[in-house]
Amino acid sequence: MALPPVITNFLRKISIDVAALSIITVTAVGVLCEAATRTSLGDAQSPRECRYPPLSSIVTRGEWGRAAPLGVISLLPFRVLFRVRIISSPHVRELEKNNVVVIDNVLSPSTLRYARARVESLSAIMEPSPNDADVRQDVILSIKEDDEYDYGDALIHCIKLLRGIPYLLDRFDYVTSRSHVVPRQCQLAMYRPDGSAAYVRHLDRCTLPMAEMGLLGWLRASDYRHRVVTAILYLNSPDWIEGGELRLFDGAATTTTTVATATATAAVTIKHTDIVPSGGKLVLFDSSRVEHQVLASLGEDRYALTCCHRRQLDNITLYAVNDAIDARQYAFNAINEQGG
User: Mind listing the pLDDT tens digit of every residue in the chain (340 residues)?
Assistant: 666 776 666 656 666 665 566 566 655 555 445 444 445 556 778 899 999 887 765 444 443 444 444 444 443 343 433 344 688 899 999 999 999 999 999 999 999 999 999 999 999 999 998 878 888 999 999 999 988 888 999 999 999 999 999 999 999 999 887 778 899 999 999 999 988 899 999 998 766 666 765 665 645 556 667 889 999 999 999 999 889 999 999 644 444 444 444 454 555 566 889 999 999 999 999 998 999 999 998 889 999 999 999 887 544 444 444 444 444 443 444 444 344 3
Global pTM reads 0.72
pLDDT in tens, 205-214: 766 666 765 6
85 burial via Cβ count (<10 Å: 0-12, 13-18, 19+):
middle
- The pLDDT of residue 219 is 57
The answer to whether 255 and 272 are in contact (CB under 8 A) is: yes
pLDDT in tens, 219-272: 555 666 788 999 999 999 999 988 999 999 964 444 444 444 445 455 556 688
Between helices 152-163 and 109-122, what is the axis angle to 10°? 100
Residue-by-residue DSSP string for 31-80: HHHHHHH--S-TT-B-TGGG--GGGSSEE-GGGHHHHGGGT-EEETTTTE
Domains and CATH numbers, the chain: 87-337 (2.60.120.620)
The answer to whether 83 and 67 are in contact (CB under 8 A) is: yes
99 burial via Cβ count (<10 Å: 0-12, 13-18, 19+):
buried
- The pLDDT of residue 281 is 96
